[in-house]
Each structure stands twice: as structure tokens, then as C-alpha cells.
Amino acid sequence: MQDKRRKTGYLLFLSDRSPLIPWLFLLPFLLFFLIFMVYPMIQGLYISFTNYTILSERMSLVGLRNYLNLLRPGDLFLISLGNTFKYVALAVPVLLGCGLLFAIVVNAPIKGRMLFRTALSAPFVINVASIALLWTWILDREIGMINYYFMKLGLPKQEWIYHPFSAMLVIVMVSLWGRLGSVMLPFLAGLQDIPQEYYEAAIIDGASKWNLFRYITLPLLKPILLFAGVSQVVAGFQIFGEVVMITGGGPGYSTRVAMQHLYEVGFSWFRLGEAAAMSWILFLIIMFFTILQFRYLSGRVEY
Amino acid sequence: MDNRVKYDILYGIGFAFLIFLAILWIVPILWCLSTSLKLNENTYTYPITWIPNPITVRNYITVLTSGRGANIGIAFINSTIVSALTILLTLIIDSLAAYPLARLEFKGKPIVFAIVVGSLFIPIYTVLVPRFMMFWRASLLNTYWCLIFPALSSSYGVFMLRQFMLSIPRELEEAALIDGCSRFRTFWTIIFPLTRPALATLSLFVFLSSWNDFLWPLLTLNDPTKMTLPVALQLFRTAYGNWEMGTVMAAAFTGTAPTLIVYFFTQRMIVRGMLTSGLKG
């Protein structure tokens, strides 16, 4: 007993008032954070100004050449980036809209609402590879379930992933299915957090349903809208697995996205300098949209 | 009276719509399960059958033991080990780091906290290339560590646990300090146990993200015996044709069964966790 106490006393030779104590607590985390987050970010920026490839161990500075090459009109990167923008512009508003709408519906006092919540949100815990295997099977042109029921209903067989237009829709649809939970659940949590008295008071004052939504629900959900908006835009620009495993970026280049292009340039062709430049362009784009959303959606909410 | 009827009709329509939506969302999962329990030759018959006849688990046995394409059984074990280690280490490291940010006053705290919050918004691809080079140079590709170490640099847990620790009453801790407990002991015997609900939620989030991670493992693992499930599933698919969808769906379902089961039992916790993770900052 005596011994044990002395030992702890010895190990913590620093007195409790020592300014080093907080840093000792932080040390393990900061170590990983510096090595695997801060250092790679800085190094990535440096690599983006070099012609580094993994095969030849040489690395020389080439200035802005990687960036200028990427932004040359007609470069595959710009095509992929354009598709990514198209995807984000389609998927994010749909996700936010459906997420909010479904959250309101499953928050209503209805029978079995827990069941509905589970059903609508469950796919968001499924890994992207399983999602892709599942949906390529369902959307198969010849033996897929959806075309089977289309035929039963007398509708024409759809090309799905074999047509440039529907291929993009498939990616949007699959991400809506798979990501709905990650938007709906925060909205649901936010709805449950709104004091019921607000609604009661407004109803006494004769407010309509729409006004309740417009002047109470929506403003109070603003922080969550911001959170969901930012995280979905960030996630949208990073879309990768769904595309690579369902359409492979095709047909042609119609669904090729930025992340896929980065992956191939960097890790199939090993042009790492170029890949790093790409990642910084993407980073700047995301930063821009994040700041934009903070500008328009932030602001204190008083309860 | 009239209003009452109108309300009932609206309620009915809304309810029907909701049932329709729920079915739409759950059908793909049921279809995956149903296909996986069919004999392969029964998966493309006309018309479609929903209840397999006969019901068979042969596909699951193939998936877990055959190793054709990729060994899903081994991948399952790999995923379990990686997730478990990541959760364990994250809980220790992040709660240690969260404590001074919630409770102690020190020079540099605002800066550390600002960096922690700021890095929440860093997309993974900004560090993809250099991280890959790091692990490649250190010959750590195709190991568990190349998946675990980067996960430990995420500041999400630190942020979330700090928010939670702020809500723990100071009195409990002060009593211990007055009794002569060291800072570390106070943390370990008082704060850490009280943080349990947040730790549970964090474990869940870490579990989901490490089990489902696709891009980074795809980059760093090319040895089939080291692959985690999503990467193994991708490789697995390349070895199977369209006439073997029963087996493919069994693999897909194996890959996601643990997350779905965990989700069914912890759903409330996840919703609550999304709130405490400081949406309201």
C-alpha cells in the first residue's frame, strides 16, 4: 500500500500545478495528429509543386506546372471535376430536402414510428462495397429486379448504368438511398430538441401549419442545416466507391468523378505530384463552399 | 366533425405514403438477403420469387470458406481486429486529450482547440498522397497499422468527448482533488467512468467508419490475406459471374450484417450522439 502510493507519486513527479500536465494528457493525440494529419498536409502541398512519381525516386520542383496542366481546357481532370459538380448539385439538395421532409414525417406521433425511422435510416450503416454489389444486381439490365417490374408494368426496359444520363441518376439515387440516414437522423435529433411550448404558443395565436414550419421549425433547425449541408457537400465532392464500383466512371467519361481521377493518376499511373495538386484544387473548392455556407447559414440561435 | 374526417383522410394518405417509402428503402436489403438464401440457379428464374425455395445457406458456406476471388472469412476477421483496435486506442487517446481541453487552463489551449475543430473539415484526399508515401517508405503497407494509425489522428472524438465532459459537474472532481488525488487519478477514476455514455457513442461511430472505410484500405492493402471487408468484397466480385448472384449477395450481406445488427440495437444512442457531438457548438 505504502509502496504503491510512493510509486504513483514518483511517476507523477510533476506537481499538479505544473504547466506540463495538460500537455501530457494531450501528448498521445497530438503525436498522431502531427504525424498523420499536419505533416502530410504540408508535405502534400510541397509534392504538388514537384514532378514526383513513385517509380523514379527523383523529385524536382516544377512550380505551378501540375496545376496549370490540370486546368488546361479539355483535360480529363476538368471533365471529372465537372461531373463531380453535377453530382453535388443534384445529390445534395435532394438529400437535404428528403432528409428534412422524412425527419418531420417520422417525428409525427404515428403508430410504429420507430420502425419507420429504422427502415429509412438503416442503409447509412452499410459499407459502400455491399451497396454497390446490391445495386448492380438490382439494376442489372437483363436479370435485375427493377427492369423485371418495369416490364411487368408495361414500361420499357431501362439502360440504367449503360446510358450517360441515367448512369448519373443511378449514382444520385443510390447515394440518396444510402446516405439518407446521415441527414435524416441529425434533423430528427434537432426536431426533438425544439421546445414544444413554441408550437403551442403559436397555435394559440392562430398560426397555420406552414407558418409553424416557416417561422419556428426552420429557423431553429438552421444550425443542423448548416452541419448537414457542410458535411454533405464535403462528402459529395469525395464520392468515390459508388462510382468506381457501380459505373466505373462510364459510360465513356460520363460519371467519372474527381476522386476517381485522382486515384487513377496517383495510384495506377503513380504521378503523385499531379495527384497532390489535384487534391489541393479540390480542397480549395471545398473550403470555398464551406465558408459560403457558414456565411449564409450561421448565426446564433436563441432558445 | 367535418374537420375530423378531413384530418383522418390526410393522416391516411400520409401514412400510406410513409409505408410506401419504408418499403422502398428496405426492399433492396430484403432482396439481398432473399437472393443470398437461394441456390444460384434459382436467382435468375422467371418470374421472380421472393421466398427462396429451397432455402439454403450453401452460399454463406462458400463465401466464408472457399477463398475464390477473396477470402471473405479472413476479411471478416481482419475487419474485426482493425475495428476493435481502432476503437480501443481512440477511446484512450481521445479521452486523455479531451480532458485538459474541457477542464484545465493552460497557455495555448485556444490554439489547440481551434486546430482540433478546424481539422474536422479536412477532406481525406488532401492527405492521401503523402500518407500513402509515408506508409510505403516505412514498409507498413498491408498491415493493420496503416489503417489504425491514420484513424487515430482524427479529432472528431476529442471534440465530441470534450463537449460531453463540459457537462460533468465540477464538484465531483474537486472533492477528489482536495482529497489529494493526482490529476491523472482524478481523470481515470472519476471523469473517465462518467464519460461512459459518450464513449459508447464514440465507439459506435468509430466502429462504423473503420468497418466501412473503403478508399484508404483500397490504396494500402493489396495482399488478400490482409484485406478488410469492403476491399475484399470488391475483389471477390471480380471472380464471380452474373449467374452466381446468390453467392455474391451472401458476400455483400456478410459484409454488412454486423453494422446492421449493431445499428438496430443502438439507434437511439446514435441519434443522441449526433446531438451531443456539438451541433450547437
Q: Does position A60 have pLDDT exceeding 70, yes or no? A: yes
What is the ipTM score, two decimals? 0.86
Q: Which residues of B touch A285 (CB under 8 A)?
A: none
A240:B129 CB<8 A:
no
Whether the Cβ atoms of residue A160 and residue A139 lie closer than 8 Å to each other: yes
Residue recorded with cell 470555398: A288
* Confidence category of residue B217, pLDDT binned at 50, 70, 90: very high
- Closest chain B residue by Cα to residue A17: B183
Phi then psi for residue B76, to 5 deg, are -60, -45
Average pLDDT over residues B225-233: 91
CATH of domain B64-276: 1.10.3720.10
A137:B215 CB<8 A:
no
Integer Cα distance of A244 and A229 in angstroms = 24
Q: Where are the domains of chain A?
A: 2-47, 70-297
Sign of the alpha-carbon torsion through A160, B31, A239, B136: negative
Residue recorded with cell 482533488: B177
Give the gap in angstroms from C-alpha B213 to the nearest C-alpha of chain A: 7
Q: Does position B281 have pLDDT exceeding 50, yes or no? A: no
Integer Cα distance of B83 and B144 in angstroms = 10
Point out the least confidently predicted range of A149-158, B25-34, B215-224: A149-158
Average pLDDT over residues B34-48: 81
A25:B126 CB<8 A:
no
Three-class SS state of B238: helix
Q: Does position B79 have pLDDT exceeding 90, yes or no? A: yes
Residue A54 one-letter amino acid? I
HSE value, Cβ hemisphere, 13 Å, CA-based, for A276? 27
* Confidence category of residue A174, pLDDT binned at 50, 70, 90: very high
Q: Does position B95 have pLDDT exceeding 90, yes or no? A: yes
Q: Does position A303 have pLDDT exceeding 50, yes or no? A: no
Nearest to A89 by CA among A207, A264, A239: A239
Residue recorded with cell 466501412: B212
Residue B258 grid coordinates: 454486423
Three-class SS state of A236: helix
As a whole number of Å, the CA-based R_g of chain A is 25
Instruction: Look over chain A and give the mean of its residue pLDDT values, rounded to a whole number.
Output: 83
Q: What percent of chain A has pLDDT over 70?
A: 92
Three-class SS state of A112: coil
Of B96, B125, B219, the CB nearest to A28: B96
DSSP H or E stretch at residue B73: helix B72-103
Q: Does position A95 have pLDDT exceeding 90, yes or no? A: yes
Burial of A146-158, coded b for 16+ CB within 10 Å and e otherwise, reads bbbeeeeeeeeeb
B100:A30 CB<8 A:
no
Q: Where are the domains of chain B?
A: 2-59, 64-276
Terminal-residue alpha carbon distance, chain A: 52
Give the gap in angstroms from C-alpha A73 to the nearest C-alpha of chain B: 23
Of B44, B47, B153, the CB nearest to A36: B153
Phi then psi for residue A50, to 5 deg, are -120, 170
Give the gap in angstroms from C-alpha B190 to the nearest C-alpha of chain A: 15
CA distances from B27 to A123, A135, A156, A177, B24 (A): 11, 11, 22, 11, 6
* Confidence category of residue B54, pLDDT binned at 50, 70, 90: confident
Beta bridge partners, A50, equal: A61
Does domain A70-297 fall under CATH 1.10.3720.10? My reply is: yes
Burial of A212-222, coded b for 16+ CB within 10 Å and e otherwise, reads eeeebbeebbb
